[in-house]
Amino acid sequence: MIPVQGVENQTIAVLGLGRSGRATAAALTEGGANVVVWDDGVDTRDKAAADGMTVLDLTREANWDGIAALITSPGIPHLYPKPHPVIAMAYALGVPVDNDIGLFFRSFATRDWESYDTTPRVIAITGSNGKSTTTALIHHILREAGRPTQIGGNIGTGVLSLDPAHDAEVVVLELSSYQTDLARALTPDVAVFTNLSPDHLDRHGGPGGYFAAKRRLFAEGGPDRAVIGVDEVEGRYLADQLAMAPSDDRVIRVSSGQKLERFGWSVFARKGYLSEYRKGRQVASIDLREVKGLPGEHNHQNACAAYAATRAVGIAPRQIEQAFHSFQGLPHRSQRVAEIGGVAYVNDSKATNVDAAAKALTAFQNIRWIAGGMGKDGGIEALQPFLGNVVKAYLIGHSARDFALQLGQTPHEVLETMDQAVARAAAEAQPGDTVLLAPAAASFDQYPNFEKRGEHFTALVQALPR
């Protein structure tokens, strides 16, 4: 746990008692604060009271006397589409509102660091797609290189539940727009922007607000190094805003598909090869084509971002390359779960929309595609240009028949259940094929979440005869 600094003897209110809210309350208490809590759920409040927390009705103005700050969980709206009533009351009363990310950055450094040989560092990753894989890959590279490291934020452990930093440690944080939007302190040593595509637009009042939430990590954070994906105009804009000149190597531009040779520092992937350039000269290269845990152009972009971030903290290219080959990928994200009789089985259950499914469909050859579930607006019609590698589609779930109508000439079969789809795909697959679960749909018709769907697929594959 990281005790929150600067709160001793203050009364601090915590709104929302999920994982991050409970961890925040504990870290504030450890820092000497008098903590009061509130949650909209009656059962949650009752459990908090049973656990010894002080539950205070923050919807009543009379209860705000003496409260120095309100700490809110990331999932609770603080601006759009409209502020939560408790947050609106804090605004009206002039009570500062923050979140656990802000508390982390103001509390992470301690006097113990004065005795360390190497100052701990923080790498923070944000963006729309690929940030979880990039975060996990950075953490993996550091660990394989022998650097002390922890991982947290939007993936793994909540930030205030991390351990206090050790000598030379690098903490790797995935940060969503919900987390960066409100944090009053954002001071990473290295900040990474993967890419931008429309998401959470109601929460941020449109695409401009969404990008502004991501941009705060760089504009207000002032990182020593900024790793910026420049495959979209927002990334190019951000890199331009941060750099004093094309030669400014405090900004490391990364891309999957573009050559970036004219900048002070850049990392890009083309035709399966990652290249690092400094001051117009290539200084390193890695063949990504045989890195099984990072298939496809989207993962090559993730690899470039992770390479740049770890180079920025002193990891050598050869160490990074070795770590790439031992990276197994994240569960449910282009995760290679088995190879049986020359057939690869890949779990990309996280591909719940057409954009994610399109990336998966371009990452493999000879695909036997398992798709379906609760389809989203437009179904899979937008995937027509990406079906060239599909040998046959096996359709399941609520939208199976609707998807079948949108597949055109692509061979397909409506099978409804995952059990049937895996069995049929395995029976028909030939050596060199890939059986790919990339549903392009939500899971809620048959599973509580995409994780359970991916776990079921994996279990069925593991049970196939060898």
- Smallest CA-to-CA distance from 216 within 249, 255, 175 is with 175
Quote the pLDDT of residue 198.
73
The total domain count for the chain is 3
CB 346 within 8 A of CB 336: yes
359 is in an annotated binding site: no
Quote the pLDDT of residue 174.
96
Helices in 51-93 by DSSP H: which ranges? Answer: 85-93
Q: Are residues 305 and 399 in the same domain?
A: no
Q: Are residues 304 and 264 in the same domain?
A: yes
Phi, psi torsion values for 465, nearest 5 degrees: -65, 140
CB 168 within 8 A of CB 148: yes
Q: Are residues 444 and 378 in the same domain?
A: yes
Sequence-separated (6 or more) residues with CB below 8 Å from residue 96: 68, 69, 70, 90, 184
Whether 1 is in a domain gets the answer no
- Joined tokens for residue 238: 């951000």
Q: Are residues 315 and 361 in the same domain?
A: no
Q: Are residues 111 and 84 in the same domain?
A: no
Q: Are residues 142 and 73 in the same domain?
A: no
Whether 4 is in a domain gets the answer no
Round to whole Å and give the CA distance between 244 and 250: 9
Give the structural domain span for 53: 11-98
Sequence-separated (6 or more) residues with CB below 8 Å from residue 401: 395, 414
128 is in an annotated binding site: yes
Among residues 66, 98, 130, which one ends one of the domains?
A: 98
Whether 5 is in a domain gets the answer no
Quote the pLDDT of residue 413.
97
- Smallest CA-to-CA distance from 253 within 270, 268, 241, 242 is with 268
130 is in an annotated binding site: yes
Q: In this structure, which amino acid lies at residue 250?
A: R
In the three-class reduction of DSSP (H, G, I as helix; E, B as strand; rest coil), residue 168 is classed as coil
Quote the pLDDT of residue 182.
94
Whether 2 is in a domain gets the answer no
Q: Are residues 121 and 160 in the same domain?
A: yes
Round to whole Å and give the CA distance between 434 and 391: 10
Phi, psi torsion values for 105, nearest 5 degrees: -65, -25
In the three-class reduction of DSSP (H, G, I as helix; E, B as strand; rest coil), residue 164 is classed as coil
- Smallest CA-to-CA distance from 132 within 353, 362, 360, 350 is with 350
| Residue 146, domain CATH | 3.40.1190.10
* Average confidence (pLDDT) per 10 residues, the chain, 466 residues: 97 95 97 98 96 96 97 93 96 98 96 95 93 95 97 91 96 95 95 86 86 93 94 96 96 95 96 96 95 90 97 98 93 92 95 90 95 91 95 97 95 95 98 97 93 97 95
Opening angle at CA 137, ends 279 and 277, nearest 5: 10
Whether 404 is in a domain gets the answer yes
| Cis bond before residue 81 (omega within 30° of 0) | yes
Would strands 54-55 and 121-126 be described as parallel, antiparallel, or unpaired? unpaired
Q: Are residues 141 and 87 in the same domain?
A: no
Quote the pLDDT of residue 205.
87
- Joined tokens for residue 228: 């910026």
Among residues 40, 71, 98, which one ends one of the domains?
A: 98
- Smallest CA-to-CA distance from 181 within 160, 205, 163 is with 205
What are the DSSP E strand ranges found in 310-381? 335-340, 343-347, 367-372
Whether 6 is in a domain gets the answer no
- Joined tokens for residue 348: 């990309």
In the three-class reduction of DSSP (H, G, I as helix; E, B as strand; rest coil), residue 275 is classed as strand
| Residue 94, domain CATH | 3.40.50.720
| Residue 417, domain CATH | 3.90.190.20
Q: Are residues 121 and 139 in the same domain?
A: yes
pTM, entire model:
0.88
Is the C-alpha dihedral spanning 174, 180, 184, 186 positive or negative? positive
Burial category of 317 from C-beta neighbours within 10 Å (exposed 0-12, middle 13-18, buried 19 and up) = middle
Sequence-separated (6 or more) residues with CB below 8 Å from residue 84: 15, 72, 76, 77, 78
Quote the pLDDT of residue 60.
96
- Joined tokens for residue 343: 């057939």
Go through 233-264 and write b for each residue having 16 or more CB atoms within 10 A of its CB, e for each that does not.
ebbeebbeebbeeeeeeebbbbbbeeebeebb
CA distances from 374 to 178, 215, 216, 263, 400 (A): 25, 33, 35, 45, 9
Q: Are residues 73 and 183 in the same domain?
A: no
Helices and strands per DSSP (H, E), number in the chain: 15, 20
443 is in an annotated binding site: no
What are the DSSP E strand ranges found in 16-138? 34-38, 54-55, 67-72, 97-98, 121-126
Q: Are residues 197 and 113 in the same domain?
A: yes
132 is in an annotated binding site: yes
CB 68 within 8 A of CB 10: yes
Among residues 326, 359, 386, which one ends one of the domains?
A: 326
Helix axes 131-144, 296-312, angle to 10 degrees: 50
Q: Are residues 127 and 262 in the same domain?
A: yes
